[in-house]
Amino acid sequence: KEVSAGFESEAPGVYDRTRIQIADMVRTCRAAGVPILVMPAVPNILDHPVRPGIDADSWWNTGMAFRDRGDSMPAINALREALARDAWGLRCNPQIRATIVGTARGNGGEVLDLWDPMQARHLGGEDLFADFCHPSDSGHRVIAELMAEPVARILKASRIPTAPAFH
């Protein structure tokens, strides 16, 4: 088992490989003068844990109970904990997301973390996921809305043309 940010993973080397790959992407883009915006995947916290075990299952049930009562923040916190305790090593869990965000920022990359806005809207009743991690059509629209400002800012600050140049 591998440990990162205090969490264990059943997928050997996943954190090290992720750190190497993200660092390489950010450094390659920066060296080439290409702007980069890193966005970690956002899992569907309402989806039941894949390999729950007793802890993940209990946290998930607690989160769903808070959600059913309309208590958003306790629900998000409990569902986030269920995801962290899910034994499925390759889900986009809090520890892999922390690895992606920390590595990207540590190598000079800009990060757009969609976790809070996506989870809050999804928990509030918007159908943003097609399954455990893939956005629905509505989810893609929300992602596009959230990306618009950072992408516009990055393009404005760069020297990359935003429209094709025809001669």
Q: Which of 62-66, 90-94, 135-139 has the highest mean pLDDT?
A: 135-139
Helices and strands in the chain: count of H runs, count of E runs: 6, 4
Tell the burial category of 59 from Cβ atoms under 10 Å away from its Cβ (0-12, 13-18, 19+). Answer: buried
pLDDT for position 2: 46
15-70 tens-digit pLDDT: 888 899 999 999 999 999 889 999 998 887 777 766 656 677 788 888 889 888 88
The DSSP element (H or E) to which 78 belongs, if any, is helix 72-85
pTM of the predicted model as reported, rounded to 2 decimal places? 0.72
119 and 45 Cβ atoms separated by less than 8 Å: yes
Rounded to 10 degrees, the C-alpha dihedral 77/106/117/139 comes to -110
Q: Residue 28 and residue 61: Cα distance in Å, rounded?
A: 43
